[in-house]
């Protein structure tokens, strides 16, 4: 019960804060969006490089398996 009341109070205070400091909120949001885009871009590049490395390693393993299978024949 106390958690629900605390949540309602938090929502009300948050809405009042947004109304009072709307322009400051927009400035903070405008500063935060480019930062998130840069961090997201860096993470995407890291994941992409990792994916390419995994594909290369899989191809090497397949080639090694095929050559060992051909050697046994």
DSSP structure class, residue 73: -
When divided into structural domains, the chain yields a total of 1
Q: Is the pTM of this model over 0.75?
A: no
Q: Looking at the domain assignment, is residue 32 inside a domain?
A: yes
- Per the structure, the complete domain to which residue 67 belongs is given by 22-72
Closest by CA to 37, choosing from 27, 45, 26, 25, is 45
Task: Give the position of tokens 């998130």.
Answer: 36
How confident is the prediction along the chain (73 residues), in pLDDT tens digits per residue?
899 999 999 999 999 999 999 999 999 999 999 999 999 999 999 999 999 999 999 999 888 888 777 766 5
Q: Looking at the domain assignment, is residue 1 inside a domain?
A: no
Q: Looking at the domain assignment, is residue 2 inside a domain?
A: no
Rounded (10°) CA dihedral 15, 24, 31, 36 = -10
Q: Looking at the domain assignment, is residue 17 inside a domain?
A: no
CB-based contact 12:6 (threshold 8 Å): no
Q: Looking at the domain assignment, is residue 60 inside a domain?
A: yes
């Amino acid at each position: 019960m106390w958690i629900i009341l605390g949540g309602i109070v938090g929502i009300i205070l948050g809405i009042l804060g947004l109304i009072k400091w709307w322009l400051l909120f927009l400035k903070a949001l405008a500063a935060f969006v480019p930062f998130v885009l840069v961090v997201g871009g860096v993470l995407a590049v890291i994941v992409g490089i990792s994916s390419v490395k995994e594909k290369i390693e899989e191809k090497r393993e397949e080639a090694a398996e095929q050559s060992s299978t051909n050697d046994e024949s």
